[in-house]
A and B are shown apart, each in its own frame.
Chain A
Amino acid sequence: MDVGDNNDAGSQNRNECVMNCPSSGMNTKVSGMSLNSMSMYKSSSGADHFFGSGWDPVVSLSHGENFGVSSMVSHCQFATSPYAVVMENQGISSTSNLAQYSSDPSFVELVPKIPGFGSGNFSEMVSSFGLPETAHITSSGCSPNFTPSKESGNKRNSANVAQSFEDHQISEEAAIGTSTNGKARKRTPESSSPSNPEKNGDKEHQNDPSGESLGIVKEQDEKKPKMEQSIGANSRGKQAAKQAKDSSNSAEAPKEYIHVRAKRGQATNSHSLAERVRREKISERMRLLQELVPGCNKITGKAVMLDEIINYVQSLQQQVEFLSMKLATVNPELNIDIERILSKDFLHSRSGGAAIFGFSSGMNSSQPYSHGIVQGTVPSIPTANPQFPPLHQSMLDPELQSLFQMGLESGSAVDSLGSHGPSKSEL
Chain B
Amino acid sequence: MNPKTCHHLSSNPSSVKSKFTRRHYLYGKVKIAADKSLALAVGSRRAWTRALLWKIHYKARRQRSRFNTKKRLKEKKKKNKKKSDEEVGFFHANELRKLVPGGQAMDLCSLLDETAHYIKCLTTQVQVMKSIDQIYSL
Interface residues of chain A, those whose CB is within 8 Å of chain B, are 46-50, 52-53, 86-89, 92-93, 96, 99, 130, 132, 278, 281-282, 285-286, 288-289, 292-293, 302-303, 306-307, 309-310, 312-314, 316-332, 334-335, 338-339, 363, 367-369, 371-373, 375, 378, 381-382, 392, 395-396, 400, 403-404, 406-408, 410-412, 414-419, 424, 427
Do the beta carbons of B40 and A407 come within 8 Å of each other? Answer: yes
CA distance A335 to B26 in the complex (A): 7
- Which single member of B100, B117, B132 contacts A327 (CB below 8 Å)? B132
* Contacting pair B9 A321 (CB below 8 A): yes
> B19 at the A/B interface (Cβ < 8 Å)?
yes
Query: Which residue of A has the minimal Cβ distance to B23?
Result: A371
CB-defined contacts of B25 to chain A, threshold 8 Å: 373, 375, 378, 381, 419
- Flag if B20 contacts A369 (CB, 8 Å): yes
- Sorted nearest first, the 6 A-B pairs with minimum C-beta distance are A407-B37, A285-B112, A418-B64, A418-B60, A323-B129, A328-B27
Are A313 and B118 neighbours in the complex by a CB distance under 8 Å? yes
The yes or no answer to B41 lying at the interface (CB within 8 A) is: yes
B27 nearest CB neighbor, chain A only = A328
Q: Does B122 contact A (CB under 8 A)?
A: yes
Which of these, A49, A285, A319, contacts B109 with CB under 8 Å? A285
Interface of chain B, main secondary structure = helix
Residue of A with least CB distance to B65: A418
Contacting pair B17 A278 (CB below 8 A) = no
Min CB distance A243 to B, Å, is 25
List, in ascending order, chain A residues with CB within 8 A of B56's CB.
412, 415
Complex formed: what's the CA distance from A356 to B34 in Å? 22
* A414 pairs with B109, CB closer than 8 A: no
Q: Judge whether B123 is part of the interface by a CB distance below 8 angstroms.
A: yes
Q: Mark B5-19, 1 if CB is under 8 A from A, else 0.
A: 110011001000101
- Given A285-B112, A330-B133, the answer on whether A408 and B126 have CB atoms closer than 8 Å is no
- Docked CA distance A328–B127 (Å): 17
| Complex Cα–Cα for A317 and B13 (A) | 10
In the bound complex, residues from chain B placing their C-beta under 8 Å from that of A316 are 119, 122-123, 126
Contact: A324 with B37, CB < 8 Å? no
User: A234 vs B113: C-alpha distance in the bound complex, in angstroms?
Assistant: 24
B31 proximal to A (CB < 8 A): yes
Is the Cβ of A303 less than 8 Å from the Cβ of B9? no
Of the residues B40, B96, B108, contact of A410 by C-beta under 8 Å: B40
Contact of B112 among A96, A282, A410, A418 (CB under 8 A): A282
A407 touches B41 (CB 8 A): yes
With CB as the reference atom, state the residue of chain B lying closest to A304: B92
State which of A285, A332, A375 has its C-beta within 8 Å of the C-beta of B22. A375
Q: Is the CB of B29 within 8 A of A327?
A: no
How far, in whole Å, are A338 and B132 apart by their CA atoms in the complex? 14
Q: Determine whether the beta carbon of B1 is less than 8 Å from that of A419.
A: no
Complex Cα distance A254/B45, Å?
A: 30
Instruction: Say yes or no: B93 contacts A88, CB within 8 Å.
Output: no
Once bound together, how far apart are the Cα atoms of A369 and B1, in whole Å? 9
Q: Pick the residue among A312, A375, A392 that contacts B119 (CB under 8 A).
A: A312
| B41 pairs with A403, CB closer than 8 A | yes
Q: How far is the CA of A89 from the CA of B113 in the complex (A)?
A: 24
A288 to B115, CA, bound (A): 10
- For B92-110 the 0/1 string (1 means CB < 8 A from A) is 1101100110000000110
A145–B53 CA distance with the chains assembled, in angstroms: 39
Q: Are B43 and A53 in contact (CB under 8 A)?
A: yes
Q: A373-B23, A415-B57 are in contact. List 8 more A-B contacts (CB 8 A).
A: A89-B131, A325-B24, A330-B133, A400-B132, A407-B41, A408-B37, A414-B60, A417-B64
Report B81 CB to chain A, min CB distance, Å. 22
Task: Point out the residues of chain B lying under 8 angstroms from A322, CB to CB.
Answer: 5-6, 9
Contact status of A404 and B37, CB under 8 A, knowing A285-B109, A323-B133: yes
- Give the residue name and chain of the A residue nearest to B113 (CB): A285
Taking the complex as formed, is B42 at the interface, i.e. its CB lies under 8 A from any CB of chain A?
Answer: yes
* Distance of A415 Cα from B124 Cα, bound (Å): 24
Chain A residue contacts of B123, Cβ below 8 A: 92, 96, 316
Chain A residues lying within 8 Å of B28, measured Cβ to Cβ, are 419
Cβ-neighbour of A320 out of B1, B45, B122 (below 8 A): B122
Q: Cβ of A313 and Cβ of B42 under 8 Å apart?
A: no
Least distance between B34 CB and chain A CB atoms (Å): 5
The verdict on B90 contacting chain A, using a C-beta distance below 8 Å, is yes
B residues in contact with A86, CB < 8 Å: 41
In the complex, chain A residues whose CB is within 8 Å of the CB of B42: 49-50
Contact A306 B96, beta carbon cutoff 8 Å? yes
In the complex, the answer to whether A406 meets B30 with C-beta atoms within 8 Å is: no
Q: Do the beta carbons of B64 and A306 come within 8 Å of each other?
A: no
> Which A residues lie within 8 Å of B136 (CB)?
327, 330-331, 334, 392
B72 contacts A by Cβ under 8 Å: no
Known A320-B125, A328-B29; judge A303-B92 contact (CB<8 A).
yes
Chain B's nearest CB lies how many Å from the CB of A71?
24
B130 — which chain A residues lie within 8 A by C-beta?
323
